[in-house]
Each structure stands twice: as structure tokens, then as C-alpha cells.
Chains A and B, each alone.
Chain A
């Protein structure tokens, strides 16, 4: 047997290859270019992301199937489901890079190294969203994590950044061990690391292949599911594997926090869905209980702990934990609407969460105290544009109707109701009401409190202004124009097409 790779195989990995190529290009130019390093590096990375977006859009149009090699032994897929998450990943990467240049300059970062690591992480995430094999999932999770460890500890003049990098590295490698142990047991029980073959052994949604009794009753499938759930839950900062999140989010350089808070989840959730809802679809009665409990605990703990935070970054970290809980509700519904809700959530989440971090970044440039929520007092008087944008992000995160945040949450809870788990939707709504306590506190501080004496005007740079305006506009457009939701519906069609 020799492998015959066709143009379609290379096509399926093209967006990932472009991003990896761009990252290597950045490293090379970094060695030779000595003037305007930050501007040139930012330009190259944005151009790379744009090219990758075009390649991804082309793949979407083609709706390519399993590839590398094609057929049942495939490593990755070029399907629309993967491409949809690629769009979300490329978007969040681009938004994070747009806000990075001022931070890179003030912190004296090496722009080429910093931005190339963001591109490497993005490539690992895109690979993960497209993978059809447990081996590729593990390698891509390592690629993205390794890049993120380094990025978290990149600011060597701040001990807090070092602590974040080291803490993330130690805990995350521990979680990776759980993940690969789970994968090994699933491999032992089914005889393959390939998701399509695992479906064939265990029997998929459609029940195409009769599953043998011995495999279904195997304790190793059960233990494998539990261990893999731990590994994935850690990367998604799901309670009780969330301890690292506030410390890492607070310590890491703010553009990195903005990027990883959205993109890591947008990469791990599609792989989580492919492994649990597809490959282990026949075992859903075994894993549903795990996800059900995790979702409830995550929503409650994330929202309640966020109430008492005084640092904006920690507040957003707990808010991110809570949002992972909402997405988990959609995922555990294990139906078409649930998968659509997960996909749609991340387009919305990219805009609102990175937008919120962009605000933190602008205020933070006035010193460490900028992270305190108290500095938002009277922001409206100091900078109307920033205050209005923050207001929109907070309302969207809380899930108020005209913004896209409402629709994202609505579909997630609707999926749970459709699957007959009304209790998940009810807890979701109750915890969302709790979340108003901290989101609206920021809004009240900005608009209804007098400005402190001596506080000066706050101005963002032109790139940040552009990014903020685009995010605010994006939140209304994605929410009100049904085209985006239809895109997610089409993406999920290719996801379920795979098993039938």
C-alpha cells in the first residue's frame, strides 16, 4: 500500500498550511528587518489570516470530505463544520492581532516571535477543529497549548506573567496526560484512533453497524470517556477543572488573554463534539450524565464567583467559565440544534469577548490599576465611544435581546429544551439573571457614576478604534441578520452527514 495524495487532500490542509507558512515567514523577516518591525509583522500576520480565510471559504464552497488520505482512514476533514470554526478562529486571531501592536511596543516584545506564536496557536486550533483522528487531536492540542504557554509567560518583566505561563504549563500538561490516557483506552477497546472507524465499531447515530455486545460493555470505553472528558474540560475551563483560568487570564499579556479566552474554546469544542457526539454517539447514555453535571456546576460556580471580583480580567475569566457552561448545555443536548448552537455561539463570542478585552487593554495602558473595575467609574464622560462599546459588550455577554449574545444563548437553551432537558435551560436562565449582577455593575459605574477629579481623557489607537467599531457592528449584524445562523445550520448538516 502506498499513499496517493490528491489535490483534494492538499486542499483540505491548505488553510492550515497557509497559517503555518505565515508564521515561519514572520520568523524569517524578524531576523532581517530592523525598522518598523511591529508594523511589518502585524501586516504579514493579518495578510496571512486573510489568505487562510479565503482558502477556508473556498473549502466551504467545495464542502470537501475526509482527507489525508481520503476515505475511511482519514486524518482530517475539509467539511463545512470545520470551516465554520475556522472562520471563528481566524476572526478571533485577527481581532487579537489588531489590538496587539500598542501592547507589543510598550512591553518591548519581539513582534515577530510574539505574533508568530499566535499564528502557530491558530494553526493548531484550525487543525483541531478539522481533525478526524485522536492522534491529530492530541498533537494539535499540544501545538496550540505549547504556543499558549509561551505566550502567557511572554512578558518576562512581570512576575505575574511568568507565574501564569508556568502555572498553565504544569496544570495543562497534567490534563493532557488524562486526555491521552483516555484516548489510549478508547483505542484499546475499539482498535482504532480514527473517529470514522470508532463509529463503525461502536455504532453511530444512524446505527449503521451493529455494535458488538463485548465492546459496548467494555469498562475501558467507560473509563476512556471519563478521562477524555477530564482532558477536554480542563482546556475549556469547565468547573471543577477551572482553577487555572482566573490566574492565567490575569497574568498573561492582555492580547493573549483576549485570544485564548475565545479561540481555545472555539478549537476544543468542535473536537469535543466530533469525539463525543459522533464517535461515541452510541455511548451517549454513558457520557450524558457527566456533561449534564459539569454544565450545571460550571454555570453556577462561574456566575456566582464572578460577582465578587474586583479585577476586570478575573471577572471576564469567570464570565468565560460561565459561557463554557452555556455551550456545554447545547452540546449535551446531542441534537442538530445543539451542534448549530455551539457553532453559532463562537462567532458571537469572538466579537463580544475579544471586544471586552480590547477595552481592558486600552484602560490598562494607564498602568496596572487599569485592570480594577473601579477605574471604569464615569468612563462615559472621559470617552463616550469606549463606554458605549463596553456597554454593548456587557449587554451582549449578559444576553440582552437586540444583541447577538441573546440569540446565541437562546439557541443553546432551546436545544436543551428540544432534547427534553428543560432543567438545564432553567438553570441556564437563572444563572444568566445572576450574571446581570456583575455585567450591569460595570455599566452602572460607567454611565451613572461621576468621573473622578483629575481623570483625563482615554483614547484608543486607530487599529483598536477600528476593531471596537467592527466588533460592536458585528454583534448587531450577526444577531439580526439570519444569514449567519443559516451558515451555522449548513455547517452542522455536513457534521451529521458524516455518520449517515
Chain B
């Protein structure tokens, strides 16, 4: 990995983690949403470093763009200002969760440092990607060939979500709404 790439990696990693902390720790939902944009944008840079240009573009367009705009839109529309998400209602639960999370992190760090990563990170279809010059082309090729079945299941997920939106969203007045 070239030096520049390593510098970029560390900058965006630190920013992504800071953004993640910001999502949880911000007092107002709007700040949380903006912190989430920071995390998502930095993840897109990490994808770029991994040569996954298409995923990076989709990440920026769909998550950092469309989804977060909806988030902000809903938050501002509902007018939740200065709403303390972390009230002091169950402080015990909060500290318990922090303790367990820290324990999990310590466990992971211990095991990783003890035995090395052992990650191959190379998918069996990697050669197919290499054969194509363009990343988007290779992605599309895999999507419509080896991963055709998962691709075809996704529309049904959307159909179910749509039925749900209609069934749960329609007026309760009368039997047929």
C-alpha cells in the first residue's frame, strides 16, 4: 500500500469512528444525523481504497445522499429539538451496556493480537473481477450471473415493504379504510 493511501486510510478511519461516536453521543437528533453522514462518507473513502468504486459511489448517492436527506427531513418536519435521547431513566442499563461493550472490544482485541488476522478477504469470484477492467462492469456481471437469485429475491422484499406501508399507513376509519 502506498504511503499516501495509508495516510488517507487513517484519516478516514478516525473520522468514521468519531462520526459513529457522534451519532450516539449527540444531544440532538439533527447532530446525530449529521454525524452519521460523516461516518458514511468516510466509509465511502474506505471502499475507494479497496478498489470498490461502484460501492463507494452507491454509498455516497444512496446512503449519504438520499437516505440521510430523508432522515433530516423527518427530524426537522417532526420538530424534535433538543430532545435528550439518553434521559436518566435507566442509568444502570446504560452503564451495563457500556461495560459489556468494552468487554467485547477487549476480547476481540485480545484474540486478534494473539493469533493474527487470518483474513483472506479475497472472494472466489475475484478472478472474474480482475478479468474485467471496469469495476462497474465486473460488479454488474457478477450481480446478474452468480448472484442472480439473491438479486431476484430483493424485489420481493420491496413488494412486502410496500404492502406493509399501505396496510399500516392507511386510515383506520371503516373496514376497508
A interface residue numbers (CB < 8 A to B): 1-3, 5, 13, 20, 24, 27, 68-69, 73, 75-76, 108, 110, 113, 116-117, 120, 123, 127, 133, 135-136, 139-140, 142-143, 146-147, 149-150, 153-154, 156-157, 165, 187-192, 194, 197, 214-215, 217-223
Contacts and interface: CB of A to CB of B under 8 A. Distances in A.
B96 interface: no
Nearest to A214: B118
B148 interface: yes
Interface in B84-117: 108, 111-112, 114-117
A113 B118 contact: no
A191 B117 contact: no
Nearest to B149: A75
Given A150-B167, A194-B124, A3 B145 contact: yes
A215 B118 contact: yes
B77 interface: no
Contacts of B108: 219, 223
A3 B163 contact: no
A20 B168 contact: no
Contacts of B115: 217-219
Given A191-B120, A218-B118, A220-B119, A1 B128 contact: yes
Nearest to A9: B149
Interface stretch (B17-25, B41-49, B65-73, B154-162): B154-162
B130 interface: no
Contacts of A3: 144-146, 148
Contacts of B159: 24, 120
A237 to B, nearest CB: 21
Interface in B118-162: 118-124, 128, 141, 144-150, 153-154, 156-157, 159-161
Q: Give the 8 A-B CB pairs with smallest separation, nearest first.
A: A218-B118, A219-B111, A108-B175, A150-B164, A75-B149, A191-B120, A3-B145, A188-B119
B156 A20 contact: yes
Contact of B153 (A108, A139, A219): A139
B150 A192 contact: no
Contact of B111 (A27, A139, A194, A222): A222
Nearest to B108: A223
Contact of A189 (B119, B146, B164): B119
Interface string B24-56: 000000000000000000000000000000000
B150 A197 contact: no
